């Protein structure tokens, strides 16, 4: 095959980047694939809209059937976003014998099993590198680069919006609402930032990565999610004093065949490599048996980084077409889903409490931890004489999540505890 025809669905930030790369890198792409790559049709909402790129009018269409029903189109690239409409488009494309490249982690998190089944049934490829961490080739690494290894843990900054917000709060000592507004003005955050700041975007990505890493069908509902909406500047200041930096992390761990998957604000020891990942950048830290510890770092979004991942997937599809090996990229998970219980999940935790500054209060609190067999790594108590209160900071040693939940309930029931202000997981990288 000397020519591959492409149907591009979406001409926004990423779609525009895809067209640019295909135009500007034609010689290199032909050298890699032995084929010319031509965008035959582009699905858009409005043909008349002014665009950054000059595109022939007969290439543009508002009718999805012009792409999914065109027998001459070999590969459909879906970068338009959305859920149901994107799923229906991708499904029809696969049924009609087209290979698919997508950047849509929302669709994959919701309909992934159905899409992968369709691709396998119709002997077609479905590639999705750009759906996680933009230009970082983490999906390909998990599927191919570390395929001979056994991955035990993933820990990653996979949402640029929240990383930008936490970086600015930490380094410039600014409040959450102030930085969020700036992020929206700069285009790092949507007008409705809920998916980012409530952790849902990161949860979709960690679910995809966990499925690949552990060969286990992890769904979005299996991810324990906590966002950064309620984080206070004082939390970050206190964390820094104790030698920690806060990041919103996707976290996945496998122990004795059972898996824990979460997204939450985590206090990282300040010399951990992930603390150097700032602003809108992403990084994924992988722990495996053979290789040990590896970190993958780069821009998590943007027109050209994400488009680069899309075009890399396109090249993968084209090579498979040439070799006659399409439809073999998806491997059904080997293991049945086995999730850890709260009794099996262990971690260190940071507690920040406001209490009445009266005799016996601290003893009451420490007794609760002692009775739960939880010891302390760090303790700080700062009185506020003007209010008659004290702020207590505790960092525990390893304890089960079940015991931590029990302690939280008992502490909040104490009359002397005015407010349990925050509880965060702590990772010190042992």
Active site positions, annotated: 205
Q: Which helix (H) or strand (E) holds 429?
A: none
Q: How many CB atoms within 10 Å of residue 61? A: 18
d(CA 394, CA 246): 16
Is the separation of the CB atoms in 77 and 51 below 8 Å? Answer: no
Give the largest Cα separation in the chain, rounded.
83
d(CA 287, CA 283): 13
Half-sphere exposure of 363 (CA within 13 A, CB side): 3
Burial status of residue 240 (CB atoms within 10 A of its CB: 0-12, 13-18, 19 or more): middle
d(CA 146, CA 134): 19
Contact residues for 402 (Cβ-Cβ < 8 A; gap 6+): 341, 342, 343, 345
d(CA 78, CA 75): 10
């Amino acid at each position: 095959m000397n020519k591959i025809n492409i149907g591009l669905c979406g001409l926004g930030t990423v779609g525009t980047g895809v067209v640019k790369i295909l135009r500007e890198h034609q010689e290199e792409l032909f050298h890699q694939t032995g084929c010319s790559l031509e965008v035959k049709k582009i699905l858009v909402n409005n043909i008349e809209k002014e665009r950054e790129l000059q595109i022939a009018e007969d290439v543009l269409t508002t009718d999805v059937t012009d792409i999914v029903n065109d027998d001459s189109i070999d590969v459909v690239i879906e970068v338009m976003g959305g859920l149901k409409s994107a799923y229906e488009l991708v499904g029809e494309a696969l049924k009609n014998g087209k290979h698919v490249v997508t950047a849509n982690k929302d669709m994959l998190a919701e309909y992934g099993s159905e899409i992968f089944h369709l691709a396998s049934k119709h002997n077609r490829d479905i590639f999705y590198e750009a759906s996680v961490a933009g230009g970082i080739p983490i999906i390909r690494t998990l599927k191919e680069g570390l395929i001979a290894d056994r991955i035990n843990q993933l820990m990653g900054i996979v949402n640029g919006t929240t990383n930008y917000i936490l970086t600015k709060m930490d380094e410039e000592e600014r409040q959450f609402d102030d930085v969020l507004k700036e992020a929206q003005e700069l285009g790092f955050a949507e007008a409705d930032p809920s998916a980012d700041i409530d952790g849902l975007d990161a949860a979709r990505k960690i679910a995809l990565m966990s499925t690949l890493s552990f060969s286990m069908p992890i769904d979005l509902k299996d991810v324990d999610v906590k966002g950064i909406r309620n984080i206070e500047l004082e939390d970050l200041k206190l964390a820094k004093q104790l030698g920690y930096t806060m990041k919103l992390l996707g976290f996945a761990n496998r122990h004795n065949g059972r898996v824990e998957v979460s997204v939450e604000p985590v206090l990282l020891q300040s010399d951990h490599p992930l603390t150097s990942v700032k602003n809108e950048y992403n990084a994924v830290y992988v722990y495996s048996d053979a290789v040990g510890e590896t970190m993958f770092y780069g821009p998590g979004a943007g027109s050209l980084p994400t488009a680069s991942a899309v075009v890399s997937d396109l090249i993968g599809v084209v090579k498979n077409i040439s070799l006659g090996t399409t439809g073999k990229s998806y491997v059904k998970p080997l293991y049945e889903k086995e999730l850890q219980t709260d009794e099996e999940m262990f971690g260190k935790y940071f507690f920040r409490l406001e209490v009445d500054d009266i005799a016996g209060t601290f003893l009451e609190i420490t007794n609760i931890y002692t009775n739960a067999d939880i010891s302390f790594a760090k303790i700080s108590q700062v009185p506020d004489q003007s209010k008659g209160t004290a702020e207590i900071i505790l960092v525990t040693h390893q304890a089960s999540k079940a015991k931590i939940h029990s302690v939280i309930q008992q502490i909040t029931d104490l009359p002397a505890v005015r407010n349990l202000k925050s509880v965060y997981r702590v990772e010190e990288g042992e």
